[in-house]
A and B are shown apart, each in its own frame.
Chain A
Amino acid sequence: MAAVSFPALVPSSRSYAPGIFPEQQFQSQNGAVIRVRYGNQRYSSSLSLTFANITDANAALILQNFVDVMDDDNYAEFSASNVAGGAATELVPWIRETNSLLKWKYASPPSVASVKPGLSTVTCEFIGELEGV
């Protein structure tokens, strides 16, 4: 498993969710809840990115990154200056998932919408998966 660097592109919109912890809930008839925790690592974090009106050449870089990540057991690696660009220092480790054991994989293929000749809008969906635990 190897890290594949994401292209040097800053998104125009970004949405992040930290995922959940592995647990099962049991609710008794009086409403009391018991949680059985199966691990102390969160999983299935998600990251949605939109790159609005970027050049077709940059859109192709994202598509190539998708292939490079998903054609083998690799994961996407973000930096503070690309995908996490514009985020405060405290938030960057969350977006990059450097504060967890999660690795970013593509949850679905990138979607490329052509806007005009030479310009496209690309949307990407990532999911954070636990690796090597």
Chain B
Amino acid sequence: MARYYAGQDGSVELGGNAVAKVVQWSLAANTDALEVTTLSEDVRAFTAGLRTASGSLTVLYYDDAPVNLLNQVNQDTDADAAITATARLKLKFDTKFFEFDAVLTGAELSCVVGEVMRVNVSYTMSGDFVSKSL
């Protein structure tokens, strides 16, 4: 039977360091469709445009909270001198992975009765994939 992958295979690295307590990560890759239809055609035609990727990850806020992740979102260079404009993210599942530079565009902290506090971080990829293994 073919090997399948589940949530327990997933993990995330930020700048080469594993991020603890990751609950979820997602990646959406898109390619713009540029219209090249001419007036002599009856059906719309397209060619490939720019490629983009974006997504989000959710982390539980334990004592070993992803503070460096939040500082990266806020570009807080006072808190961490290692922070740069983009962060190197590596989204993994088992031995497979996507590695790329990204701008962390948002962080949403939620504290809800009956739930562990969690942080939802969104990102947009900058440049192409540095490496990937599928």
Chain B residues within an 8 Å CB radius of A86:
38-41
Task: Of the listed stretches B29-37, B59-67, B77-85, name the one at the interface; the rest are far from the partner chain.
Answer: B29-37
User: Which residue of A is nearest B36, CB measured?
Assistant: A53
Chain A residues within an 8 Å CB radius of B47:
53, 119
What is the number of residues of chain B that contact chain A, defined by CB distance less than 8 Å?
Answer: 11
- The answer to whether A53 touches B39, judged by C-beta atoms less than 8 angstroms apart, is no
CA distance A86 to B47 in the complex (A): 21
Least CB distance, B39 to chain A, in whole angstroms: 4
- The answer to whether A85 touches B34, judged by C-beta atoms less than 8 angstroms apart, is no
- The answer to whether A116 touches B34, judged by C-beta atoms less than 8 angstroms apart, is yes
B49 contacts partner chain A, Cβ-Cβ < 8 Å: yes
A54: contacting residue among B36, B39, B40, B50, CB under 8 A: B36
Chain A residues within an 8 Å CB radius of B37:
12
CA distance A122 to B63 in the complex (A): 58
Report A's interface with B, CB cutoff 8 A: 10-14, 52-54, 81, 85-87, 115-116, 119
